Amino acid sequence: MAHHHIRFNGLWSVLLISLLAGAPSGSVQAQSEPWPVKGKLFGQAKDAKGADFKKSEDVSGIACATETGFPRLCLVADDEAPGAQIVILRDGEIIAGSFIPLVSDIHVSGKGKQRLAELDAEAVAYAGGSFYVTGSHGRPRHSDDGTTEADAKAAVTRRIFKITLPADAVDLATGKLTGSASVTPSTALETQLKIKLDGAFDAALKDNGLTIEGLAVTGTTLHVGLRAPVLSDSGDAGAAKAVILSTPLEAIFGPSQGKDASTLTRLDLKTQAGAPRGIRDLVAYKGSLMMIAGPVLDPSDDAVKAGDYTIYRFSDGQTTKLADLPGYGTKIKPEALLPLNQTGDTVRALILFDGAEEGGGRTVTFKLS
């Protein structure tokens, strides 16, 4: 397979330049400084009312209302937050806007006090005038299975939301919501997942249990990218492939809710060494699906190495490897991909990270073939 080239713009730091030097995808230039954030991206709630938040450190998804141009109206998810947040993208800057609460009825304890439970929101999509935000639908990884709190956390995340912002309801200079957002929750995706992935539905991630990390819409079809389970037809663990579940939007938010309308697509996203990988983000791009593939389980040392994460494109039944991403150090995981513009067959995209303060957004360019 031909090498694909990644180009980073500007200077980041001597430390990460040394990490990038080993990237297997061809020549790598010095990486840019993170895009600055004006305002504050919200993470975990500090109280039971959702009136105070920690600063975001676990950005897990982004989608925008337009595919080109700036300023761009977008919605960001942090997997520790009890909702999603409006952001305005300018080229090289993120403006943090209004927070849209999605969890208001379930609380968990922490450090002796109650706070709003996190949605464990892992993905955002946009289509047809609405944003879609989904929880991971998985068992919490940091609670004992079978406990009341673990069950409560699982119930919170097994929802998907349709969020519609009225025309001219957001100030594009500040990201502030000047009208009211229409929020429609649904548990119908849970039904589809139970039918198609029954054995993995309530299993822990370490046991190849269900965890959603990608979401995209093409036409009237919702595509759900799974970090896990990875599945094989043969039962051979080494042959396990990543999975996309696709279902009509009307089966989630329309009159067909609850019906078995989904299909599974298996994609070979394995590493060069043959280790299976799951989908860590999914985005619709010009009639195709683009995704970040990454480890199902994080490495024991939490270090992200060059080639652990890779950008792929899925189009007309074919999976094409576009670019291996470099290593970003300890606990810094690429989990949100947003194409910004395209020149010829070269795409410039923004990547946001789980483990970096306020997403640590950086641009990367790569070719589509």
Q: Residue 273 has what pLDDT?
A: 87
CB-based contacts of 304: which residues, under 8 Å, 6+ apart?
Answer: 327, 328, 329, 330, 331, 332, 333, 334
Residue range 291-301, pLDDT digits in tens: 999 999 998 88
> The sheet that has 83-90: what strands, in order across it?
37-38, 93-101, 83-90, 72-78, 59-64
Bridge-based pairing of strands 303-304 and 310-315 is: unpaired
The answer on pLDDT for 7 being more than 60 is no
pLDDT band at 97 (very low <50, low <70, confident <90, very high): very high
The answer on pLDDT for 148 being more than 90 is no
Q: Residue 238 has what pLDDT?
A: 60
pLDDT band at 11 (very low <50, low <70, confident <90, very high): very low
CB-based contacts of 121: which residues, under 8 Å, 6+ apart?
Answer: 60, 61, 77, 78, 79, 81, 83, 84, 102, 133, 134, 135, 136, 157
| Dist. CA 289–CA 223, nearest whole Å | 9
Domain extent listing, the chain: 39-340
Region at 85 (left for phi over 0; alpha for psi -120 to 50; beta for the rest):
beta
Mean pLDDT to the nearest integer, 230-239: 73
| Dist. CA 231–CA 130, nearest whole Å | 31
What's the mean pLDDT when you consider all of the chain? 87
pLDDT band at 143 (very low <50, low <70, confident <90, very high): low
Mean pLDDT to the nearest integer, 337-352: 95
Q: Residue 31 has what pLDDT?
A: 55
Helix (H, G, I), strand (E, B) or coil at 239: helix
Token look-up 């109650």 returns 114
**Of 98-107, 179-188, 261-270, 312-321, which gets the smallest average pLDDT?**
98-107
Q: Please list the residues that pair with 311 across neighbouring strands.
A: 292, 323
The answer on pLDDT for 161 being more than 80 is yes
Q: Please list the residues that pair with 362 across neighbouring strands.
A: 351
Q: Residue 165 has what pLDDT?
A: 96
**Of 33-42, 62-71, 107-116, 357-366, which gets the smallest average pLDDT?**
107-116
What's the sign of the alpha-carbon dihedral 81, 189, 128, 185?
negative
Q: Assess contact for 351 and 362: CB atoms under 8 A.
A: yes
- CATH code of 39-340, in short, is 2.120.10
Residue range 317-333, pLDDT digits in tens: 999 999 999 888 899 99
Number of neighbouring beta carbons within 10 Å of residue 142: 6
Q: Residue 4 has what pLDDT?
A: 42
